[in-house]
Amino acid sequence: MGVSAMLATLFAPLAGSIAILFINRDQTKAIRLTALIIAVLTFGGSLLLLPGFDTSTAAMQYGIDVSWIPALDAGFRLGIDGTSLLLILLTTFIMPIAILTSFGSVNKHEKAYYSLLLLLQFGMTGVFMALDTFLFYVFWELILIPMYFVIGIWGGKDRIYAAVKFFLYTLFGSLLMLVAIIWLGFQAGGADLGIGFTTDLAKLRLIGPNIDADLQLWLFLAFALSFMIKVPVFPLHTWLPDAHVQAPTAGSVILAGVLLKMGTYGLIRFNLELFPQSSAALAGPICILAVIGIVYGALVAMVQTDIKKLVAYSSVSHLGFVVLGIFSLTVEGVQGAVIQMVNHGLSTGMLFLCVGVLYERRHTREIADYGGITRAMPRFSVLFAIAMFASVGLPGLNGFVGEYLTLLGAFRSPFLNSWAYAVVSASGVIFAACYLLWMFQRVMYGTNDNPENHHLRDLTKSEYWQLVPLAVLIIWIGVSAQPFMKYSESAVRAVVSKVEQIKFSRTTTATLPSAEARR
């Protein structure tokens, strides 16, 4: 059942995307409903991945392998482990909400819009399932097109600039990745394994660690650059605020909720698994960028006057924690990073929905245009507060679990070997409280002085049901993270122990005894 659930999760959105093309474009109701039903069914289908999933193994599950381009040994190879499972569920969970939120806000070219959203879901799910570099690349690039149009057609005033910036930034990175994929394929052919050129990830994982250190470093960098643009890691982040501000609410929700996670997922799946030596060697510099991003994103978020931009910069800060956790190369850190990916998707997705709620009513995102909104919208204020505190990292809500574990990982990491990373990053926790509480205070508290805000309507039923499921998960993960984290535990342990083995069996100098002493 697992394999069919996986295939259904992947292909149902594609089928839906095509099906919508056959609906008359005037029948907007039918178009919307089709999209929503497909997305909800896909979420239901993806839940079927859970019962058969074996949490005790790090091996890929539900694997399928269909030959595609024999000359390249490229195959339609899919499979999931705990890490990808959580991200797939995140995707299928976010999409119905993103579609639902579009009902009110998107009212031109709806046929194309919903078709593109489902195509986008197909691509994202594919990225998390692909076990073949060529296939991965296809899915990776596939996403670019629908997202480009979603921003460029349904976006705000400067949508074209934002869409092009998004497109070029990402394309620049992915071209480097393509070169690395081809090079890696040839390396497999050159290695004495009796195989030729290949894009099979399983085979590449065998030869990856044996690639000559210098070359491995270049390949690592090519992949890493592509992923780090997507995350985005400082200083490659400037596309993000523009893209978020211009994108429609659903676009922002998907962007923050899922798309950015493709970058951090890629770092684990490719950089850590294929190039353990380089991962260990470059952990320090990458973590420095992550730490800068955490503090920088928070400080810049603090001085924004546009709510959406504020949330966008907060993403730079929050994703910094994810990258820090990954390159702490400890089980705690990487596990924290994985759960933080899910958490950020939920809480930041919810924040963007909340900004959307305000924007729908007032058509402005300037903080100064609001104030005292709580009086007019009490229900909204509760849900907005939950999203905000999740983002602040309050214990008992989800954000804390991820931040805490990534910091703990960085603190204990034998690869980073310094407390400084965690200490500086932890200051981001203070700044997060500053910018979010300050924003909340200016928007929601005080008196409602602006006459235009006097009669704002509280949440509609639809908005309410977009936000409540997110709030439930935010609290659930916050008070009981274990049922979620158990899925990725084995996979993460395997990755980390691979890096640890290689690092500490080769270098017998300074780092080894201290790492031992820490145990």
Binding site for other proteins (CB under 8 A): 165, 168-169, 235, 238-239, 241, 296, 299-300, 302-304, 330-332, 335-336, 372, 374-375, 389, 394-396, 401, 404-405, 407-408, 411-412, 419, 422-423, 426-427, 429-430, 433-434, 437-438, 440-441, 444-448, 479-482, 485, 489, 492-493, 518-519
Nearer to other proteins, 206 or 394 (CB): 394
The amino acid that residue 494 corresponds to is A
Torsion angle defined by CA atoms of residues 221, 225, 226 and 228, in that order, rounded to the nearest 10 degrees: 130
In angstroms, give the least distance from the CB of 448 to other proteins. 7
In angstroms, give the least distance from the CB of 501 to other proteins. 16
Nearer to other proteins, 73 or 332 (CB): 332
Nearer to other proteins, 94 or 291 (CB): 291
- Closest by Cα among 151, 147, 148, 123 to 137: 123
Q: How many CB atoms lie within 10 A of CB 411?
A: 20
Nearer to other proteins, 140 or 389 (CB): 389
In angstroms, give the least distance from the CB of 35 to other proteins. 32
In angstroms, give the least distance from the CB of 396 to other proteins. 5
Contact 105, 463 (CB under 8 A): no
- Closest by Cα among 177, 104, 182, 194 to 141: 177
Nearer to other proteins, 270 or 440 (CB): 440
Q: Cα 141 to chain center, whole Å?
A: 16
Nearer to other proteins, 205 or 493 (CB): 493
List alpha helices for 106-158, DSSP H.
110-129, 133-154
Cα–Cα distance measured from residue 384 to residue 390, given in angstroms and rounded to the nearest whole number? 10
In angstroms, give the least distance from the CB of 226 to other proteins. 16
H or E stretch at 50:
none
In angstroms, give the least distance from the CB of 391 to other proteins. 13
In angstroms, give the least distance from the CB of 437 to other proteins. 5
Residue 377 is encoded by which pair of tokens?
């919208």
Length of the chain: 519
Nearer to other proteins, 206 or 299 (CB): 299
**CB-side neighbour CA atoms (13 Å) of 374:** 14
Nearer to other proteins, 181 or 337 (CB): 337
In angstroms, give the least distance from the CB of 331 to other proteins. 3
User: CA quadruple 492, 515, 263, 206: dihedral positive or negative?
Assistant: negative
Give DSSP secondary structure letters for 286-330: HHHHHHHHHHHHHHHHHT-SBHHHHHHHHHHHHHHHHHHHHTTTS
**CB-side neighbour CA atoms (13 Å) of 385:** 11
Cα–Cα distance measured from residue 491 to residue 510, given in angstroms and rounded to the nearest whole number? 28
H or E stretch at 61:
strand 61-69
Nearer to other proteins, 262 or 373 (CB): 373
In angstroms, give the least distance from the CB of 485 to other proteins. 6
In angstroms, give the least distance from the CB of 506 to other proteins. 23
Provide CB contacts within 8 A for 436, sequence distance 6+: 314, 388, 391, 392
Q: How many CB atoms lie within 10 A of CB 169?
A: 20
Residue 506 is encoded by which pair of tokens?
């080769």
Nearer to other proteins, 306 or 360 (CB): 306
Q: How many CB atoms lie within 10 A of CB 382?
A: 13
Strand partners, 130: 78
**CB-side neighbour CA atoms (13 Å) of 218:** 13
Nearer to other proteins, 114 or 389 (CB): 389
**CB-side neighbour CA atoms (13 Å) of 398:** 29
DSSP assignment letter at 419:
S
In angstroms, give the least distance from the CB of 384 to other proteins. 13
Cα–Cα distance measured from residue 163 to residue 154, given in angstroms and rounded to the nearest whole number? 11
Nearer to other proteins, 94 or 392 (CB): 392
In angstroms, give the least distance from the CB of 165 to other proteins. 7
